[in-house]
Amino acid sequence: VQLQAYGGGLVQAGGSLRLSCAASGRTFSNYAVGWFRQAPGKEREFVAAISRRGGTTIYADSVKGRFTISRDNAKNTFYLQMNSLKPEDTAVYYCAANSLTSYYSDDYDYWGQGTQVTVSS
């Protein structure tokens, strides 16, 4: 499956952004999907994931209560709604797909190209 992430940008602290990831090539509903991020000089870290039908969502503690992952299988797209953004959320955000809902980047077989999110203080 091919993934294309978009929706990043520059936002002030406390603001909101919605990232989208469009999937193509295979049956989207066969895959659990997730978001990861990587800040300069840091390792890639898990942000959120959602199961194939959307019934299960998991989040990193650092974003719980502020970010919401969702998906629309009819549109082959999934989303990350980010509210109450903080400067420490600044990173390149990557979307990924996998057969199972997972916290671990090594479990994901397919990756999008990343979209930059910058939160100014």
Mode of pairing for the β-strands spanning 115-120 and 9-12: parallel
**pLDDT at position 26, please?**
82
Two structure tokens written together for 10: 């520059």
Q: What pLDDT digit, counting tens, does each position of 1-40 carry?
A: 999 999 999 999 999 999 999 999 889 999 999 999 999 9
* Confidence at 51, pLDDT banded by 50, 70, 90: very high
DSSP-assigned letter for residue 56 = -
pLDDT of residue 75: 96
